[in-house]
Amino acid sequence: MFKHQCLFCGGDPSEPNHWRSCDGRQGGVEAGAFNPREAFGPPPAVGLTPETWDASHSAATKVEPAADTLRAEVFAYIRVRVDGATDDEIQTSLHMDGNTERPRRWELYNAGLIYSDGYRINPRGRKCAVWFARRG
């Protein structure tokens, strides 16, 4: 079984109260004040019909244990990109499926941690939003 590691301290983010004791790059003060479950809640389940809602709910339930780590990976990638990052770039660089990356990016956006500013054309010729991390 694959074990996810915290991008900030290398610990196991699934451990109870991990975010209260994480003292890696993020720092103990910030880690003590931040609990991703309180900030983001469980992964969203969407669907227009009972069948699609059931499939979405099942997928959200399966990804929930890894959602914090996946979200941290997406956020860390966007933060280091001075020129921002599109969904395609994030998915390619992190080897992450779009159905995994987009909800994590949406959670970061809803939490006010990232914003969109401008567009880039992807290799398929489509216009893609460019995402940046808020500083400060």
Assigned fold of 65-133: Arc Repressor Mutant, subunit A (1.10.10)
pLDDT of 77 reads 94
pLDDT of 105 reads 92
pLDDT of 36 reads 59
Tens of pLDDT, residues 74-100: 999 999 999 999 999 999 999 999 988
In this predicted structure, the answer to whether residue 61 has a pLDDT above a threshold of 90 is no
Q: Is the dihedral of CA 73, 78, 82, 86 positive or negative?
A: positive
- For 30, the token pair is 């910030």
In this predicted structure, the answer to whether residue 10 has a pLDDT above a threshold of 90 is no
Residue 5 vs residue 109, higher pLDDT: 109
Q: Where are the domains of the chain?
A: 65-133
CB neighbour burial string for 27-66, b if at least 16 within 10 angstroms, e if fewer: eeeebeeeebeeebeebebeeeeeeeeeebeeebeebeeb
Average pLDDT over residues 44-61: 64
List, as one string, the DSSP characters of 73-93: HHHHHHHH-TT-B-HHHHHHH
